[in-house]
Structure 1
Amino acid sequence: MRDKKISVIISTYNAEAWLEKVLWGYNAQTFRDFEMVIADDGSRPSTKALLDRMQAEVFYPIIHVWQEDEGFQKSRILNKAVERCAAEYIVMSDGDCVPRKDFLEVHAEYMEEGYFLSGGYFMLPMPISEAISREDIEAGRCFDVQWLKANGLKSSFKNNKLTSAGFKARLLNKVTPTGATWNGHNASGWKKDIVAVNGFDERMQYGGQDRELGERLMNYGIRGKQIRYSAICVHLDHARGYKTPESIAKNQAIRKHTRESKCIWTNFGIRKEA
């Protein structure tokens, strides 16, 4: 049997309720030629139990890549997940981002040699995040602005992410002032390019480790392509206890060095340099 066209990497840590909703979102995809690689940064056994149950209920294969819980080590588990990907093309997102049914179809349509794709997310408040059911995901209600407003969503320009399609979406992708960066919640690129820059810098914890990977890709000659109004996922709310001023400051210093030195390689990535 040939390899799947796309490998999807989803990061998670002890968030089974959100992860289940995300997996239902991928089960509703119009593009079906993919495998699911779960990058699990040390979750309890109940996450594996969820994945075992879901494997019997979804159409796509699930590969569970797990490591011991040693604090926030997302970069390390993502590198392990990249190595496990069987496809030549990788889509990365998070275990709190539910994809719209055309999410992977958009990534597959826009994928191009020499580029990575930069998507965004639509942030939902906690009450709506908790209220969304499997049926709401399968029917697409949780991506419908009118349904969301009926459940408490406020009006905002950001709602255009959910209502734009076709020419309008392409126009907004082009004119948005937001740069085409590698965003861990919604980005994709060629495995060979990610490996060529040695993946994520494992010194980095919360705060910009995904952007730093994108900066090395750009130093390597890979350009970013904006799809934030086309590839849509909704972000379920949660606390961020792992965010510290120390991790942010350390990561900013590493990113500053990457930008100023134009380096393409980290000695702290997939391959470890002595």
Structure 2
Amino acid sequence: MRTSIVVLTYERPDALALALRGLARQSVAPDEVIITDDGSSPATRACVVREARGFPCPVVFLTHDRGGPRMSRARNRGIAAARGDYVIFLDGDQVPSRHFVADHRAFARPGTFVQGSRALASAETTARLLAGGDLDVSPLEPGLGRRRHALRAPALWWLFARRHRSRRGLKSCNFAFWRDDLVRLNGFDEEMTGWGLEDGELAQRGYHLGLWRRDLRLGGGVLHLWHGPPGVLRDDNPNWLIYDATIASRRVRCTRGLDAHLAELAGPLPDLREEADQAASPR
């Protein structure tokens, strides 16, 4: 099973650097890491080039013009570029635990997608990590939110691994799908812009396809770095109309989705490790 990590980022290169360092030290390396940028300044790409040097797998960088938050489009471009059988989604402000990839690989099953978990770093812990602290954060760390998700106990995965089709707790950070299933679904719905619901809507179409959800707990966790107040899912968010229409129609494929990017990103894409090596070599 080849594993692709698709990392969504926007204008936070300091956090992205930590996420990439976390991926670089995995006990089982992914087969590739694809950073898909939602229209950031050049500082984001420069960060990826710096971190790509010596990386254990190919590193690809994608971006598009900024047109407001277009997370669905950015993630679809990452899926289109992915060459792996299994795609794990990560946000650029999340630091994966050391066994993140190994746990996801062990937990994957045909006919299912996986919802992972996250612990929440405090502002103080985030500042320490950004200043160069050890990426390993203890479950006993002061101020850690949802600290249970910093624990790892593979022998107990079965307690939470039952197949179900709940809508609760769906989030596209630490989210994993078989790529073939994403192609059948046509990926994320690009009619959904702004913040919220694109992950739940994708999962709902997955249920219509016949997929089941499994929750990975006590393993495969990430540390979500602190940032300002999170977005609030308002009742007047226009994405609700799309989400509700998906449920009512029981549709499987979205109209504007992944297929718009498959041809463009089908060929070999530059591995930023080569550019990083050239930048580091003496002139």
Matched pairs, number: 258
Matches within 5 A, 1:190-201: 190-201=178-189
1:214 aligns with 2:206: no
Q: Tell me the equivalent position of 2:118.
A: 121
Given candidates 166, 177, 186, the residue that maps to 1:189 is 177
Return the alpha-carbon distance in structure 1 between the equivalents of residues 34 and 55 of structure 2: 14
Greater shift, 126-135 or 83-92, is seen at 126-135
TM-score (norm 2): 0.83
Contact 1:75–1:204 (Cα < 8 Å) also in 2 = yes
Return the alpha-carbon distance in structure 2 between the equivalents of residues 99 and 199 of structure 1: 23
Return the alpha-carbon distance in structure 2 between the equivalents of residues 180 and 62 of structure 1: 33
Return the alpha-carbon distance in structure 2 between the equivalents of residues 80 and 175 of structure 1: 29
Matches within 5 A, 1:55-204: 55-132=52-129, 134-137=132-135, 140=136, 142=137, 144-146=138-140, 148-149=141-142, 153=143, 158-173=146-161, 182-204=170-192
- Identity among equivalent positions (%) equals 24
TM-score (norm 1): 0.86
* Unmatched segments (≥5 aa) in structure 2: 261-283
Please report how far the alpha carbon of residue 167 of structure 1 lies from its aligned counterpart in structure 2 after TM superposition. Answer: 3.4
User: CA 1:108 to 1:180, structure 2 compared with 1: closer, same or farther past 3 Å?
Assistant: farther
User: CA 1:178 to 1:264, structure 2 compared with 1: closer, same or farther past 3 Å?
Assistant: closer
Return the alpha-carbon distance in structure 2 between the equivalents of residues 231 and 188 of structure 1: 11
Matches within 5 A, 1:230-269: 230-239=219-228, 245=234, 249-269=237-257
Return the alpha-carbon distance in structure 1 between the equivalents of residues 152 and 81 of structure 2: 35
User: CA 1:55 to 1:82, structure 2 compared with 1: closer, same or farther past 3 Å?
Assistant: same
Q: Tell me the equivalent position of 2:266.
A: none
Question: AA paired with 2:125?
Answer: I
Return the alpha-carbon distance in structure 2 between the equivalents of residues 106 and 8 of structure 1: 13
Return the alpha-carbon distance in structure 2 between the equivalents of residues 27 and 81 of structure 1: 19
Question: AA paired with 1:120?
Answer: S
Please report how far the alpha carbon of residue 58 of structure 1 lies from its aligned counterpart in structure 2 after TM superposition. Answer: 2.2
SS at 1:63 equivalent? strand
Query: When you count helix as a share of all residues, which structure comes out higher?
Result: 1
State the superposition RMSD in angstroms.
2.5
1:228 aligns with 2:217: yes
Please report how far the alpha carbon of residue 183 of structure 1 lies from its aligned counterpart in structure 2 after TM superposition. Answer: 2.4
Deviations 1:15-48 (A, max 9, x none): 0000000001001111114200001011111111
User: CA 1:176 to 1:258, structure 2 compared with 1: closer, same or farther past 3 Å?
Assistant: closer
